[in-house]
Structure 1
Amino acid sequence: MACSEDEKETVLILSTLSLHFVADEETKTFDIQSNVSWSISGIPEWCILDVKEGEGNKRIEIKAIANPNDTQREVILVVKAGNKSEQLLIQQNGKVFTLNISESLLTFSADEEELSFDIQTNDSWSITGLQEWFSLSLSEGKGNETIVVKAQANTSEVEREGILVIKSGSESEQIVIKQIGKVYSLTLSESVLDFLPEGEIRGFAVESDGSWTVSSNAAWCIVDDGNGMGNETISISVLENQKETTRSAEVTVTCGSLLKKVIINQMAGIISSVPYIFNLNDNRLRAGDQLVKRQVEYKDPGQSGANVTWDFSNLVSINDEYTVDYKAPVLIEGTHYIMGDDRLEAKDVAPNSLIIAEEHNTMYYFQLKDNKMITLGHENPVTLLKYTTRLFSDAYTTSYGDKQQAPYYGKGLYSGKSLFTVEGKIEMNADAYGTLILPSGRVLKNVLRIKTVRSSTQTNLSINPDYTTYNRSEFTTYKWYAKGYRYPIFETIVNIDTDTNAKSILSFYFAPEKHTYRRINK
């Protein structure tokens, strides 16, 4: 028997029971055949249907949005019509991620530097593993990109390293970021510095491309600053050596792992327990020496006798660069020397016994003979003088209380035409010893003072005796000598015209640190 219209059988047929989608966005269709109304359920967010319910036959369009994950996904849609239902399996492939890095290692120099690498990917990406000593132009993005890595200067000598991790989806790559350690340079201008016993300040240059420290291993050797950078000059202050032995210290300069040293040597202290004895070995004039005399306002020489104190701590300078140079004469034709108006045969002269002193445009000629320094004469642009009865200037040895005297006589020419003679007597007396206080505050003990008085009568000759003139004077010099010093420490000169009583006075300070002679014989 036929069924009534209300009791007709429900029809529900799907054109397919499954749809498979690629990972990218894709649209597909399926057909519903039905004779009643129907609906679709179980629809996930990643599936978009153009129709979710209807009646009768219908073609349904399904759009699967792109799968952001690398795993396949699926869902079962349920189509229901009346008392019937059908299932439609929806499957979508997982995304296939691609990630390529152009470099696996970036090596930086120790200086600040920029390097780059390329990211090639089909998705978004991020970078982790950033460290303080380098930065990135980008740490996240999407698609292909060039990443600039900037490394700060590495001031350490130790190599440093970091690892960047680049992630895109399920893919990841690593790139090693490496920076070499700083290679420092360090050069010192001196390896050894020699200091005088009284103490002084000297320095040496540091050349470096980094920061450095400097230190001394001795309290008596003081560096001016313990730190520096680049090229600088280090000042070393050495205190007075108050012992009769030499001493040494080390000044160390360190730059990174580099270490260099300057040896500091200081001569033995000059300690004297008895009045100094003026002697040939330590006090004779010596070729090659230069004295730097400082002309100062006149200082009264003070009293004579034992244990005198001379305070020369406060001196007023007049001329700081008054020099005296000592040199040997030139041997002419291998046979003789010319010393002013004297010709001296080499065979008659002891080795190293002739000395020329140049002072204020005047050449003074000396010869060491019979333990005395003899003045042969002098010359300058207007005067030429030769002593025929030689004038002695120093006598070796001379101790406190010793006295010597001798006459002298000389002939000269003034302006190339005017004849004159000079004669008189010289008296040398080691008249005092005691303590000398220097401008630096340093105290020298048992200093010997030698007083020299030279009386002089100069006769200016003329063809007509009525025009002959005379000049009479007394020239007094005080010189202070101390152990360890070849030349005087202080000198005072008083020149009196005995005819008019006119007086000229001079004083000179021979600063020990300015001298090249010292105790060491060349």
Structure 2
Amino acid sequence: MKKNIYLAIFTFISVASQAQLTLTKAFNDPIYGDQFNRKEFDSVGVVPKSTGTNQLWNFSAYPQNANVLNTTFTTVSTAPNGANYIGATIVEMDGAGANSYYKSTASTYELVGAENTSLSYNYTNTAMGWAWPTAYGYTNTDTYSGSAATSSSVTGTAIGSNTVNASGTGTLILPGGITFNNVLQLTIRNTFTLNYASSTFVLNINAVDYDYFAGAQKLPIFTVSYSSVTGSSSSSSAKIRVNNLALTGLNDHNFDAAFAIFPNPAKDHFSIKLSNPSQLTCNIEIINSIGQKVQLIKLGSDAEISGNINIADFATGIYTVKTTLGSRISCRKLVVE
């Protein structure tokens, strides 16, 4: 339930010029058939999310995990419960029962409701995400309300507030070292309460997304999401996701398929093995959980590189093994016991 309890209001951008990124209906309004496919990454130390102009958001050392999220925008009638969401013009579906229903007008983009296999909420007073057009400095707060229901037919109310700020501009470095300049950051804060069965079961949800946009991509290229649930049940989550389209060509920048570290978890040492047919110079950096480089190993330029790395003096915890092969970078998570 905690995975789907909060469905973020996605925001979209276009590039009016190199000096100003602007959300416009003509470019950023999703259409039927649009896909939003994301890969998930693990954090390394403090997550950069500063606001203001001329910022640097560096996620280059973040390792990828096995989680993915793939959604498709399609007609409301495609969803089994689509007719229940009055006014919705498009639905975003993940194929596994989690659907978000949106209403796009000439001037706004709004959330009509959402559902998953555990919960649903349907807003008679919709949640406005933003107004067209939107650029740095934009801010809007909107309250919304409607009904809620569980999969076991327990009903209640959903009441909340959503604030969107175009909060930053700067340079974004993705995992693997891909750099985007002229990036726009949007901060989306959502607070809402689900009240079921006359207050016998109440959930208070607080969530914040930091969305980053660049270039000609319709959807966010990078998102950091936090959510917490209190009340009759409690949970928290943090997710870092990268738009697959922003990673086009990433395999040219990294070499995950040819790179292995083992054992993992490790105690006193771990081994590495990778193919290097171009005989490029290989270096390894080991980075701790607060982003500090704790070891640098130079491995030469052999066609087949292998080595045994001593970590007997390392404190237990999670580290990132950042391997550079020429201009290419690969990051793996290492657990030290």
- Please state which band the TM-score falls in when normalised by the shorter chain: 0.5 to 0.7
Per-residue CA deviation, residues 483-502 of structure 1 (Å, 9 max, x unaligned), is 21100010011112355985
Using the alignment, how far apart are the partners of 1:429 and 1:354 within structure 2?
24
What letter matches 2:54 in structure 1?
N
What letter matches 1:291 in structure 2?
F
Using the alignment, how far apart are the partners of 2:166 and 2:16 within structure 1?
20
Match of 1:308 among 24, 42, 55: 55
Distance 1:316 1:440, change over 3 A: closer
| SS class of match (1:285) | coil
Shift of 1:272: 5.2
Distance 1:490 1:355, change over 3 A: same
Using the alignment, how far apart are the partners of 1:313 and 1:508 within structure 2?
13
Please name the residue that 2:36 is paired with: 291
Per-residue CA deviation, residues 306-338 of structure 1 (Å, 9 max, x unaligned), is 000111222211235421111123499xxxx97
Structure 2 unaligned runs (5+)? 1-14, 249-337
1:341 matched to 2:84:
yes
Whether the 8 Å contact between 1:341 and 1:384 is mirrored in structure 2 is: no
Per-residue CA deviation, residues 139-193 of structure 1 (Å, 9 max, x unaligned), is xxxxxxxxxxxxxxxxxxxxxxxxxxxxxxxxxxxxxxxxxxxxxxxxxxxxxxx
Say which is worse superposed, 401-410 or 375-384, in terms of deviation: 375-384
Using the alignment, how far apart are the partners of 1:380 and 1:498 within structure 2?
19
Using the alignment, how far apart are the partners of 1:373 and 1:416 within structure 2?
31
Using the alignment, how far apart are the partners of 2:238 and 2:137 within structure 1?
25
TM-score, scaled relative to structure 2: 0.61
Please name the residue that 2:236 is paired with: 503
| SS class of match (1:512) | helix
Whether the 8 Å contact between 1:291 and 1:514 is mirrored in structure 2 is: no
Aligned residue pairs: how many?
230
What letter matches 1:339 in structure 2?
G
Shift of 1:481: 0.8
Shift of 1:392: 2.0
Distance 1:328 1:298, change over 3 A: farther
| SS class of match (1:441) | coil
Using the alignment, how far apart are the partners of 2:130 and 2:140 within structure 1?
10
Using the alignment, how far apart are the partners of 1:327 and 1:370 within structure 2?
19
Using the alignment, how far apart are the partners of 1:322 and 1:331 within structure 2?
20
Per-residue CA deviation, residues 369-417 of structure 1 (Å, 9 max, x unaligned), is 2422211112233333210110123432111111001100020221242
Using the alignment, how far apart are the partners of 1:460 and 1:393 within structure 2?
25
Distance 1:456 1:313, change over 3 A: same
Structure 1 unaligned runs (5+)? 1-269, 345-352, 516-522
Using the alignment, how far apart are the partners of 1:320 and 1:415 within structure 2?
25
| SS class of match (1:277) | strand
Please name the residue that 1:355 is paired with: 90
Percent identity over paired residues:
21
What letter matches 1:317 in structure 2?
Q
Higher relative contact order (CA 8 A, sep 6+): 2
Whether the 8 Å contact between 1:475 and 1:494 is mirrored in structure 2 is: yes
1:453 matched to 2:185:
no
Using the alignment, how far apart are the partners of 1:429 and 1:321 within structure 2?
27
TM-score, scaled relative to structure 1: 0.41
| SS class of match (2:134) | coil
| SS class of match (2:21) | coil
Using the alignment, how far apart are the partners of 2:109 and 2:228 within structure 1?
25
Distance 1:514 1:361, change over 3 A: farther
Using the alignment, how far apart are the partners of 2:230 and 2:78 within structure 1?
41
| SS class of match (2:22) | coil
| SS class of match (1:287) | coil
Match of 1:478 among 185, 210, 218: 210
| SS class of match (2:76) | coil
Per-residue CA deviation, residues 187-233 of structure 1 (Å, 9 max, x unaligned), is xxxxxxxxxxxxxxxxxxxxxxxxxxxxxxxxxxxxxxxxxxxxxxx
Shift of 1:438: 2.4
Whether the 8 Å contact between 1:301 and 1:478 is mirrored in structure 2 is: no
Please name the residue that 2:103 is paired with: 367
Distance 1:343 1:361, change over 3 A: same
Whether the 8 Å contact between 1:275 and 1:434 is mirrored in structure 2 is: no
| SS class of match (1:295) | strand
Structure number with larger C-alpha Rg: 1
Shift of 1:514: 6.1
